[in-house]
Amino acid sequence: MPILGPRTLLATIALATTLTLTACDPAAEAPSAPSAPSAASATVSAPASSPSHANSGKHTLAEAATAGGLTKATGAGAVSDVPVDPGEMRDGMHLVVADYNRAGQTSGRRILFVGVDSVPEDPNKRREHLWRGLIDYALQNGSTGTPTTAKPYQPGPFGGSLECLSLPESASTTDVICGWSDTTTAAVALFPRTTPADAARLFAAMRADLEH
């Protein structure tokens, strides 16, 4: 038998040991299972808390020089800030604030509109938030009395919900606040000295020019 050197002897022992362990280990013969993706590489889909905008119709808001036959006020005296807290605003949301003159109006209180789109929560809740803010604004700027319970009216071609309430309840003209909400938008408006039915019709007409 040939005499092996120290290095050759160690290599031979290591090879024999490896062959023995491989033969005895059944797992070595089975194909390895695919490893789970790491947290860094896994893609997680956001949970859907509401129907897809693609299916329910995503709408957006944009300023309009004319809305429902009303003319947007510009220049001195036109609204230049945000008089009503619109709630949380995130990237991609649009806030529209404008006041409008009736035909021939040159003075007096205008119709104030405030609306937001791409609402992340239930748009009905955002409308309620806007309503509360607009009621506070109205009572500080000429409106009086206690708000009545909101009543539903025809929302127009975009659907959803359109409701109006008066400040205060009156058999004749009074200040009226209307609000709409649908799958992605919420908006309110203050109509001085009118009736809820007339305000609702005008608000639906404004919506057709402000929502897209």
pLDDT in tens, 155-186: 998 999 999 999 988 878 899 999 999 999 99
Write down the mean pLDDT value for the chain.
Answer: 79
pLDDT of residue 10: 37
pTM (2 decimals)?
0.72
pLDDT of 17 over the 70 cut: no
Domains of the chain plus CATH, in order, are 58-210 (3.40.1000)
Q: Give burial (CB, 10 Å; 0-12/13-18/19+) of 188.
A: buried
Report how far residue 121's alpha carbon sits from residue 126's, in angstroms, rounded to the nearest whole number: 7
pLDDT tens digit sequence for 66-76? 999 999 999 88
Instruction: Kindly report whether the peptide bond that precedes residue 83 is cis, defined as omega within 30 degrees of 0.
Output: no
Helices and strands, counts by H and E, the chain: 4, 8
Confidence (pLDDT) at 173: 87
